[in-house]
Amino acid sequence: MSGAPVIVLDFETTGLSPTHGDRAIEIGAVRIENNTIVDSFQGLMNPGFRISSFIESYTGISNSMVASAPPCEVIMEQFAEFIGDWPLVAHNASFDTRFLDSEFQFIGRSRCNPVACSMLTARRVYPHADNHKLGTLVSYCDIDTDGTFHRALADAEMTGHLWISMITHIEDTFGIREVPFELMQKLARVSKVKASSFLEKRAIHSATSEI
């Protein structure tokens, strides 16, 4: 059901790819239950090496900030406890899950959590948005923000509100009483031209199952 807990997460990192030696420097996440943010997690991490001036400028996270932060392994152990086996959501999820899985490897953990991408889902739910970057969608959906971007908790909170907005839009537009995580996953894999018919069929199935 749409009220089942979901964890929305965001990483800030030293670069684009853990296969090239990049590490996480911040993790932020919120837990959503019944379409409401009920808890949050945030942690700066020391990757064990200096971060570039570009990343400092892009994220606002300085070398002095990460130098005084706990090692990645400490924060990731805490984060693993926070997320448990709940479903995960991220904007451009392929990026965040690469780093999540890589950081979990450092602490001898593996992920069994299912994942959904809010960016791919938003392309189906809001096809007329100018683009599907997080900042554009936040403006498109009139989501309140203090203007902070590229900090992990702020981005996770905005993605969480976007996720809630999409679920509410689907419920209101198509008359689907509950929008489960699995439906959002499937919607992301449907072609954009077939998204409406996919949801219409789901609405019919939902209505007949209640009779």
**Per-residue pLDDT, 205:** 78
Task: Say what the pLDDT of residue 211 is.
Answer: 42
- Residue 89's contacts (CB-CB under 8 Å, 6 or more residues apart) are 6, 7, 8, 9, 115, 116, 117, 118, 159, 160, 163
At 138 the pLDDT is 95
User: Residues of the chain whose pLDDT is less than 50?
Assistant: 1, 211
All structural domains of the chain, each given as residue ranges with its CATH number in brackets, are 6-209 (3.30.420.10)
Q: What is the pLDDT of residue 1?
A: 47
pLDDT at residue number 3: 62
Whole-angstrom distance, CA of residue 71 vs CA of residue 188: 35
Look up the pTM and report it: 0.94
Residue with tokens 């086996």: 85
For 149, residues 6+ apart whose C-beta sits below 8 A from its C-beta are 134, 135, 155, 158
